[in-house]
Chain A
């Protein structure tokens, strides 16, 4: 177990280091989420309710996450590193977990900007919304990373990831807008286990 966690830590650290040097994903996510919230600010009619505003926040967050997920396996794809990683004796789920943690880090960083911006443009962000965002991030990153790995092997990968991810993200948006924390906990529990258990088959020899 200790070796597994060390592998996960090494893989996540590698992704954070790659982003720190390449600066390709996080700036794009930050720009996108801010631009989306500005557009929504002017698009939402005056007097619209808090639920409508939260719906726009969740739309912005899900599409920001999709932007990060689209880039998640780019270094592995472009530099042939996916083959190198799957040949190592490390448990293949460690590749998924390391990547999920890195994407979670990027998404959390984007939300550190997005939530204050939402508070400035729309309404105050309470603790329940922050908890819902944190819980949703876990589901978004684990499911999204699994689908990202599936899409990376395909020819129409830019199309495949949104087609797989967005339907799976609908329950997250429903749970997030309604702030059904128990529902998000259940979603996370199911999809973390499912993604962890199936990643091996996603990267298996074909």
Chain B
């Protein structure tokens, strides 16, 4: 599903990484680890098609087949959970969108607060909403950057269940213990 050869990324004079080869089969989980500033987020943004590598060849699924979770929840704070997901369901052309949104909000424990603005949510609830957003269009590839951030134990257990589903996943984390057992491939930045 993902194949990269000789990947490099530079910002001006600063080299983030170079000569990176990557292969991830469909259904695999690539665990990306490394200290702050080592290039994890940059690599994940490349794999989410949000930025292009400076050099190298990369084969990725189409952008609509990717679900990306960044450091921030990436939801409109002035819109309710329902409005956020309805807008994106429209843009992703999600079939039977209302039912899918309802199912996700129930699953992540947000159904009762679906009419409240996302900005009024705690950080953990915003992260749950972000996971609903990521899964809304049932993407073939999940690209998750520090997905356990701000989640309590119950939220983390919900995310564990998502990660155990049969789909291709790339996960960057400082704390690989929750994902280690599922990982089929590993990439450690120095």
Chain B residues contacting A83 (CB-CB under 8 Å) are 48, 50, 68, 70, 74
Q: Is the CB of B93 within 8 A of A87?
A: no
Q: Is B92 in the interface zone, CB < 8 Å from A? A: yes
Q: Is A21 in the interface zone, CB < 8 Å from B? A: yes
Q: Is A22 in the interface zone, CB < 8 Å from B? A: yes
A84 to B79, CA, bound (A): 15
A22 to B88, CA, bound (A): 20
Q: Which residue of B lies closest to A84 (CB)?
A: B74
B 65-78 binary contact with A (CB < 8 Å = 1; else 0)? 01010101111111
Size of interface on B: residues with Cβ below 8 Å to A:
28
Q: How many A-B residue pairs have CB under 8 A?
A: 75
A83 to B71, CA, bound (A): 12
A 1-48 contacts with B by CB, 8 A: 3, 6-7, 10-11, 14, 17-18, 21-22
Chain B residues contacting A6 (CB-CB under 8 Å) are 90
Known: A14-B87, A88-B88, A205-B49. A21 touches B63 (CB 8 A): no
A 48-95 contacts with B by CB, 8 A: 75, 79-81, 83-90
Q: Is B169 in the interface zone, CB < 8 Å from A? A: no
Supplied contacts A86-B50, A89-B62, 17 more A-B pairs, CB within 8 Å: A7-B90, A10-B91, A11-B87, A14-B76, A14-B83, A18-B79, A80-B70, A80-B73, A80-B74, A81-B75, A81-B76, A84-B88, A86-B63, A87-B66, A88-B92, A89-B64, A90-B91
Query: Which 3 pairs across A and B sit closest by C-beta, in order of nearness?
Result: A89-B64, A88-B91, A205-B52
